[in-house]
Structure 1
Amino acid sequence: MISDYRWYWSAGLVVVVTLIYFLQPILSPFLIGMLLAYLGDPLVDRLEERGLSRTLGVVVVFTVASSVLILALIILIPLLGHQISTLRDNVPAMIDWFHNSALPWVEARLGISVSDFRLDSVRDSLKEHLGQTTSVLAAVVTKATKSTMALITLAANLVMIPVVGFYLLRDWDLIVARCRDMIPRHYEPLTVKLMHDCDEVLGAFIRGQLLVMACLGVIYWLGLWMVGLELALLIGLLAGLASIVPYLGFFVGITAALLAAVFQFGDLFHLVAVVAVFSVGQMIEGMVLTPLLVGDRIGLHPVAVIFAILAGGQLFGFVGILLALPVAAVIMVLLRHFYQRYRDSAAYGHAPVAADVSEDVESNEVEQK
Structure 2
Amino acid sequence: MAELDEPVVDIPIKRWPLVLAVFAVACLFFYLLQPILLPFVLGAVIGYLGDPLVDRVEARGGSRTLGVVLVFLAFGLLLLVATLFAMPMLLQQLDILIQKIPAFYAWLRDSALPWMQSRVSIPSSRLPEIDWSGQLLENWQSLGKASAKAVGQITGSGLGMLLWLANIVLVPVVAFYFMRDWDNMVRKLLELLPKAWQSGTRTLAAQADEVLGAFLRGQFVVMCALGVLYSSGLWIVGVQAALLLGLLAGLASIVPYLGFVVGITASMIVAYVQFQEFSILLWVLLVFGVGQLVESLFLTPVLVGDRIGLHPVAVIFALMAGGQLAGFLGVLVALPVAAVVMVFVRHAISHYRASNLYGG
TM-score w.r.t. structure 2 length? 0.89
Matched AA of 2:26: V
CA distance, structure 1, for counterparts of residue 81 and residue 152 of structure 2: 25
Matched AA of 1:217: G
Is 2:172 the counterpart of 1:165?
no
Contact residue 216 and residue 285 of structure 1 kept, 8 A? yes
Structure 1 residues without counterparts, runs of 5 or longer: 351-369
CA distance, structure 2, for counterparts of residue 54 and residue 71 of structure 1: 26
Is 2:258 the counterpart of 1:251?
no
Q: Report what 1:340 is aligned to.
A: 350
Q: 1:185 to 1:238 in 2, by over 3 A?
A: same
Matched AA of 1:187: W
Q: Report what 1:231 is aligned to.
A: 241
Is 2:123 the counterpart of 1:113?
yes
Aligned pair count reads 347
Contact residue 109 and residue 126 of structure 2 kept, 8 A? no
CA distance, structure 1, for counterparts of residue 129 and residue 297 of structure 2: 43
CA distance, structure 2, for counterparts of residue 210 and residue 88 of structure 1: 28
Q: Report what 2:4 is aligned to.
A: none
CA distance, structure 2, for counterparts of residue 329 and residue 213 of structure 1: 18
Is 2:336 the counterpart of 1:326?
yes
Is 2:43 the counterpart of 1:36?
no
Q: 1:291 aligns with which of 301, 310, 313?
A: 301
CA distance, structure 1, for counterparts of residue 190 and residue 129 of structure 2: 60
Q: 2:106 aligns with which of 76, 96, 106?
A: 96
- Offset, 1:132: 5.2
Matched AA of 2:352: Y
Deviations 1:14-44 (A, max 9, x none): 2221221121111000001000111111110
CA distance, structure 1, for counterparts of residue 297 and residue 38 of structure 2: 36
Alignment of 1:188-267 (within 5 A): 188-267=198-277
Contact residue 202 and residue 299 of structure 1 kept, 8 A? no
Contact residue 220 and residue 281 of structure 1 kept, 8 A? yes
Q: Report what 1:78 is aligned to.
A: 88
Question: Whose RCO is larger (CA < 8 A, sep 6+)?
Answer: 2
Q: Report what 1:19 is aligned to.
A: 29
Report the aligned-residue RMSD. Answer: 2.3
Deviations 1:37-84 (A, max 9, x none): 111111100100101001111111111111112112211110000011
Q: Which structure is larger by alpha-carbon Rg, 1 or 2?
A: 1
Contact residue 255 and residue 312 of structure 2 kept, 8 A? yes
Deviations 1:169-204 (A, max 9, x none): 111111011011111111112211111111111111
CA distance, structure 1, for counterparts of residue 131 and residue 359 of structure 2: 64
Q: 1:57 to 1:103 in 2, by over 3 A?
A: same
Which secondary structure state, in structure 1, belongs to the residue aligned with residue 359 of structure 2? coil
Contact residue 37 and residue 172 of structure 1 kept, 8 A? yes
Mean Cα deviation higher: 119-128 or 142-151: 119-128
Matched AA of 1:147: I
Structure 2 residues without counterparts, runs of 5 or longer: 1-10
- Offset, 1:121: 8.1
CA distance, structure 1, for counterparts of residue 268 and residue 138 of structure 2: 27
Contact residue 305 and residue 325 of structure 1 kept, 8 A? yes
Mean Cα deviation higher: 116-125 or 141-150: 116-125
Matched AA of 1:221: S
- Offset, 1:151: 4.1
Mean Cα deviation higher: 193-202 or 49-58: 193-202
- Offset, 1:139: 7.9
